[in-house]
Structure 1
Amino acid sequence: MIPTNRTLIFFGALLFTLSQAQAQDLPVFSNSDQFSAAQVGQQERKLSTFMMLVALSGLGTSTELSAPHTLFIPTNDAMDQMPQEQYLYLIYPNNRKALIDFVNFHYLPTVMSVTDLGREEEVLTKNGKTLPVTQSDAGNSPRFGGATIIASDIEANDGIIHVVDRVLTPNNGWSFTDR
């Protein structure tokens, strides 16, 4: 059976609503270096919305098999700030290219610790876009593309993860759609 547009919209709205109901504490990781970055993200329920998008994009396996990398994972709280119409657009099967671009915007094809990021003025994402790096208002953590890193240097066996408080978008705008 092929799902109808109505079914896809309902499913997307349900997932979006469920992610908003989850606890809002910071993630805690242990033994993360025994798993890939994608596996670590999938194990933490507070990162489930973004990791579900990774799975829908089909990039979960390629992320696991790629060279060492850095993955910026927005919390469910951060994902909740995404306009619902944008979220629904990304999960619609015909918009897979936009979803892949969205996920790749959170992925650096090199390992960069929070200290390394603090030395940079901008970084190049996997999809070839640059994001500015600045210091947070408190000066204790770099801001990456407008997002503050709230959990840093989580080691995985294929790279490093930083948890961020905001979804990364080009120029802090929602431009992953054709509209």
Structure 2
Amino acid sequence: MSTGSSMDATSASGGVMVGGAMMTPDKDIVANALNSSEHTTLVTAVKAAGLVPTLQGTGPFTVFAPTNAAFDKLPSGTVQTLVEPANKEQLTTILTYHVVPGRYLASDLKDGQKLTTVEGETLTVMKKGSSVMLRDAKGGMATVSIPNVVSSNGVTHVVDTVLMPTR
């Protein structure tokens, strides 16, 4: 049953519905994200940080992609401040903390596993059954709401919270 909501399941064609759009394995991570109505803030931030060419590269990458609602949980004005050119370095640090080199499906992730991000710090995986959560460097928790969105250059897991590095 496809409702266009973030909880849609994998379709028969191998794609996954995210933010009202079909994410398909023949598109790269950025091309898939551009179509999601739930990831407009993330796409804006990736563009402001100049990370589009990197995330369109060969990879493979595993991206933990915060939704617009995840960004909305940040203190008022945070996103607007981060996308200003003067804050590009801090924005890049936060965004690259959501990217892990390699291709990790949810089934590849183990409870207690440490993932070293492109930013250099680690995320800790927590699994309970088929649920996947991540603990960031500051102790914050994000839950994977849609796992295994496969792209041509990696895999994306939709998360409900922006992960924060220590720096």
Specify the TM-score bucket, using the shorter chain as the normaliser: 0.7 to 0.9
User: 1:65 aligns to what SS in structure 2?
Assistant: coil
> More helix per residue: 1 or 2?
1
User: What is aligned with 1:142?
Assistant: 132
- What amino acid maps onto 2:156 in structure 1? I
1:29, distance to aligned residue in structure 2 (A):
5.1
User: What is aligned with 2:10?
Assistant: none
1:83, distance to aligned residue in structure 2 (A):
1.2
User: 1:58 aligns to what SS in structure 2?
Assistant: coil
- What amino acid maps onto 1:90 in structure 2? L
8 Å contact from structure 2 (residues 111, 126) kept in 1 = no
Aligned ranges for residues 29-40 of structure 1 at < 5 Å?
Answer: 30=22, 32-40=24-32
User: 1:118 aligns to what SS in structure 2?
Assistant: coil
The alpha-carbon distance between structure 1 residues 66 and 120, as it changes in their structure 2 partners (threshold 3 A), is: farther
Partners of 2:37 and 2:78 lie apart in 1 by 22
Residue of 97, 111, 123 corresponding to 2:115: 123
The alpha-carbon distance between structure 1 residues 31 and 25, as it changes in their structure 2 partners (threshold 3 A), is: closer
User: What is aligned with 1:108?
Assistant: 100
User: 1:62 aligns to what SS in structure 2?
Assistant: helix
User: 2:103 aligns to what SS in structure 1?
Assistant: coil
Report how many aligned residue pairs link the two structures: 147
Structure (1 or 2) with the larger CA radius of gyration: 1
User: What is aligned with 2:5?
Assistant: 25
User: 1:147 aligns to what SS in structure 2?
Assistant: strand
Query: Which stretches of structure 1, 4 residues or more, deviate above 6 A after TM superposition?
Result: none
Partners of 2:87 and 2:106 lie apart in 1 by 32
User: 2:22 aligns to what SS in structure 1?
Assistant: coil
8 Å contact from structure 1 (residues 118, 142) kept in 2 = no
User: What is aligned with 1:91?
Assistant: 83
Residue of 73, 78, 96 corresponding to 2:70: 78
Deviations 1:87-119 (A, max 9, x none): 233111111111111110111111101011235
User: 1:30 aligns to what SS in structure 2?
Assistant: strand
User: 2:56 aligns to what SS in structure 1?
Assistant: helix
User: 1:150 aligns to what SS in structure 2?
Assistant: strand
> More strand per residue: 1 or 2?
2
Are residues 1:51 and 2:43 paired?
yes
Deviations 1:113-158 (A, max 9, x none): 101123552111101110111125xx33121121110101111000
* TM-score, structure 1 as length reference: 0.75
Q: Which runs of 5+ in 1 are unaligned?
A: 1-23
1:63, distance to aligned residue in structure 2 (A):
1.1
Partners of 2:63 and 2:28 lie apart in 1 by 11
8 Å contact from structure 2 (residues 29, 155) kept in 1 = yes
